């Protein structure tokens, strides 16, 4: 499951709507919604996100958070290390191979490091 899939499912369940009802209302198939929720589809497009926000009549802040979450939810990430030092490429490849084996604690530690790096000028 992707962060967006999880957020979409929580929103849908919080509003008491089935996948079938939501799909019919926003013009997609229930199978597509299921695939999004389970991380078997790529990123949804902006039009889809707008339809979801409109369907649930969510406020701008919540819609913006949903859009941001969608942007961080591509289940098939490509990391382009061309032109970088060899250790960057090795790190990206090691991460790709080992990510399924990492514990939630290790993922949390790595996320903390990334968040810290985002704050640096």
**pLDDT score, position 19:** 94
| Domain annotation covers residue 33 | yes
CATH number for the domain spanning 49: value is: 1.10.260.40
**Cβ–Cβ under 8 Å, residues 43 and 29:** no
| Domain annotation covers residue 44 | yes
What are the structure tokens assigned to 30, written together?
Answer: 């229930």
Residue-range definition of the domain harbouring residue 91 = 86-119
**pLDDT score, position 77:** 86
User: Are residues 95 and 63 part of one domain?
Assistant: no
**Helices 19-26 and 46-56, interaxial angle, to 10°?**
110
Q: Is the pLDDT of residue 1 over 90?
A: no
Q: What is the pTM of this model?
A: 0.72
**pLDDT score, position 26:** 95
Interval 75-106: pLDDT, tens: 788 899 999 999 999 999 999 999 999 999 99
User: Are residues 109 and 57 part of one domain?
Assistant: no
- Nearest alpha carbon to residue 50 among 36, 63, 39, 32: 63
Query: How many structural domains compose the chain?
Result: 2
Q: Is the pLDDT of residue 60 over 90?
A: no
Higher per-residue confidence, 11 vs 42? 11
User: Are residues 62 and 38 part of one domain?
Assistant: yes
| Domain annotation covers residue 15 | yes
User: Are residues 7 and 55 part of one domain?
Assistant: yes
The C-alpha atoms of residue 85 and residue 66 are separated, in whole angstroms, by: 35
Residue 42: pLDDT band (50, 70, 90) is: confident
**pLDDT score, position 86:** 95
Average pLDDT estimate for 20-47: 92
| Domain annotation covers residue 78 | no
């Amino acid at each position: 499951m992707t962060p967006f899939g999880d957020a979409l499912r929580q929103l849908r369940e919080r509003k008491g709507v089935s996948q079938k009802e939501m799909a019919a209302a926003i013009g997609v198939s229930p199978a597509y919604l299921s695939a999004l929720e389970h991380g078997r589809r790529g990123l949804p497009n902006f039009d889809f996100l707008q339809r979801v926000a409109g369907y649930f009549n969510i406020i701008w802040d919540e819609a913006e958070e949903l859009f941001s979450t969608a942007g961080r939810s591509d289940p098939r990430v490509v990391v382009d290390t061309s032109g970088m030092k060899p250790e960057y490429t090795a790190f990206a490849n090691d991460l790709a191979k080992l990510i399924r084996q990492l514990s939630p604690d290790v993922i949390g530690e790595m996320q903390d490091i990334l968040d810290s790096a985002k704050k640096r000028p």
